[in-house]
Amino acid sequence: KSKADPSRRAFLAGASVAVAAVIAGGLKPRAARAAGAKLPHLTDADPLAKSLGYTQNHNEIEKAEHPTYKAGEHCSLCRFFQGTPGEKSGYAACQIYPGYAVNAQGWCASFNPRS
């Protein structure tokens, strides 16, 4: 009979937790989208939104006011957007604006493209 090495047992326990975390991470966009539906929608009038030039419609951006904006950039293409990448409509949570849901077609100066 051989007894399992305690360090091996700890490794296997840790590995199973890591696998569960990876699987749960794959479910994040759906859960975040559902959470975004329950969050209040961020508006252009919010002080933080104003400071970062947030707009709910990227097609209405004045290039002179927001020189970092590039045509076609919008929230659902940003790494901070917690919804489905490339989503054409709807709202989802955003890491930049905790407690609020942003418009998938919105934009702000914190835009950082998904890799």
List pLDDT tens digits, range 58-110. 999 999 999 999 999 999 999 999 999 998 999 999 999 999 999 999 999 99
Q: Which residue has the higher pLDDT, 4 or 76?
A: 76
Model's pTM, two decimal places?
A: 0.68
**Per-residue pLDDT, 115:** 84
Taking domain 6-103, whether its CATH number is 4.10.490.10 is answered by yes
* Rounded Cα distance, 40 and 93, in Å: 10
Q: What is the DSSP letter of 92?
A: E
Tracing tokens 């849901």 back to the chain, one arrives at: 101
Asked if pLDDT for residue 39 goes beyond 70, the answer is yes
Q: Which sequence spans correspond to the domains of the chain?
A: 6-103
